[in-house]
Structure 1
């Protein structure tokens, strides 16, 4: 399966850091000067360029979704679970932050979630989606339990959390869970976490957009642990 991407920033990032993802490019003749750098990068990587009436478009490989059981629930030192994130831009922004902060794996539910292969998700992630192992599971709650059996420490984020993040609240293998834009992490999934963390508010607003919360949560983790790959 292939995906068509029309965001020039995402295309440029892929050409710079992950060029094998792009199969071919289409660029309008009158936009050649505007996309001169992209054309140069494509030629360096021997990617075919076709002329089109549109501005720019890249034919890309779809993100690969792995089988979590085949990988034995060994997903690296930092795993992010995104529980029913339905807005494509929010999911893409979460993935961009996860890539930036060095997350190893991303897990989403098979149902009630935006798709990894949605062009808006890939574009908003600025290609960062291709940097991590991706999984889709039928049961997030059971997945949490299986990860805990493999020595992962699972932290759910909620505005109702009682604990602020610190070095003492993390271990060598961490799972962070962020929830739906409106409802947050589902109740059963929170109940199965080892701890429920909060992002402290200094003002009157009690909650954050999930993409912002994910970025802040991962930034706090980066201060407390070494999550470099």
Structure 2
């Protein structure tokens, strides 16, 4: 079991809403009496969670100077799932596959935001690499706002090998690339699908790109060359979602 500290009213509320059984203890600013914080304290108390009153200096130390908003929780981190777990889920799934693959994405804010969008749009899981990629961290959990508990993250050793296996299971692999001939809006993506997003700045690696069945791009009219990974993933995920709804 891996324990970590998360902080801030929003992150604490998400932990209380989605995984109260994983909260080990809480530290709360003894001088703050605002309504939202007191509501959190009441909810924690109702679930029998140990609450320690603390001063600002202690909270600053526990959060290493971050903006804790008067509350810090020690929580059990969501589990990372294995390649074998992924295979079991894919082979037994009854719903049309909808996966997100992140090829060496390293920013925890990007993974957290991707998880939040994945939860909202019905993505069944996020696949990441074991090496040179971010896993589940307190920052990921904070940004994901509860989605780190609801969307499983699978760590695999070799993305190319995993993609090849997914293709054998009838999953179409669609990569995001600025040089693609067609945009996501010109492409039929209402199919068993895994969307592939490349790393920050570098994009997909060559071997990953070569494994894709086809590439799509997001139309751009401004002066910037590309979107943030999590923003781009959100655009692509929701176009798949829209097409599945028949909108």
Same fold by TM (over 0.5)?
yes
| 2: CA distance, partners of 1:107 / 1:31 | 41
Aligned equivalent of 2:41? 39
> Which of 43, 64, 67 is the aligned partner of 2:79?
64
1:30 paired with 2:64, answer: no
**CA deviations over 1:138-169 (Å, ceiling 9, x no partner):** 11011100111111111111111122225963
Q: 1:159 to 1:186 in 2, by over 3 A?
A: same
What's the secondary structure of 2:83's corresponding residue? coil
1:223 paired with 2:242, answer: yes
What's the secondary structure of 1:3's corresponding residue? strand
Aligned equivalent of 1:112? 132
Aligned equivalent of 1:153? 172
Aligned equivalent of 2:50? 48
1:206 paired with 2:207, answer: no
Q: Where in structure 2 are there 5+ consecutive unaligned residues?
A: 60-69
Displacement, 1:29?
0.7
Structure 1 contact 73–147 (Cα < 8 Å) conserved: no
Q: 1:23 to 1:173 in 2, by over 3 A?
A: farther
Q: How does 1:70-109 map to 2 (within 5 A)?
A: 70-72=85-87, 74-75=89-90, 77-109=97-129
Structure 1 contact 73–146 (Cα < 8 Å) conserved: no
Q: 1:183 to 1:73 in 2, by over 3 A?
A: farther
Q: Indicate the structure with greater strand content.
A: 1
TM-score by length of 2: 0.84
What's the secondary structure of 1:225's corresponding residue? helix
> Which of 166, 176, 195 is the aligned partner of 2:214?
195
Structure 2 contact 86–154 (Cα < 8 Å) conserved: no
Q: Where in structure 1 are there 5+ consecutive unaligned residues?
A: none
Q: Indicate the structure with greater helix content.
A: 2
| 2: CA distance, partners of 1:74 / 1:166 | 29
Q: Choose 1 or 2 for highest CA Rg.
A: 2
| 2: CA distance, partners of 1:50 / 1:107 | 37
Structure 2 contact 104–128 (Cα < 8 Å) conserved: yes
Displacement, 1:171?
4.3
| 2: CA distance, partners of 1:148 / 1:12 | 39
Structure 1 contact 167–224 (Cα < 8 Å) conserved: no
